[in-house]
Amino acid sequence: MQIRIADRLRELMHEQGLNQVRLAEQTGIGQNTISAWLLGKKQPCIRSLWLLADYFQVSIDYLVGRSEII
């Protein structure tokens, strides 16, 4: 199974009209970290997945591509 965090994160950011800087401000996650995720250079830790899931009101399974259901 391929982890799809970058794709899902990009999609969610687009839906909400967010750029990396704004998402960083809203979540407290560094913009450089978000950039690395979107480029596929790094994967988020579980704490970051929790923050993203809560912020976007989706499941962690959705973020990582295990589920198509938000």
Please report whether residue 25 resides in a domain: yes
DSSP assignment of the chain: ----HHHHHHHHHHHTT--HHHHHHHH---HHHHHHHHTTS----HHHHHHHHHHHT--HHHHHTS-S--
pLDDT above 50: residue 20? yes
In a domain, 69, yes or no: no
Per the structure, the complete domain to which residue 15 belongs is given by 5-64
Mean pLDDT, rounded, of the chain: 93
CA atoms within 13 A on the CB side of 45: 3
Domain CATH for 57: 1.10.260.40
pTM higher than 0.75: yes
Report the domain count for the chain: 1
Confidence of residue 1 (pLDDT cuts 50, 70, 90): very low
Q: Report the pLDDT value the prediction gives residue 68, as an integer from 0 to 100.
A: 79
Q: Is 70 part of any domain?
A: no
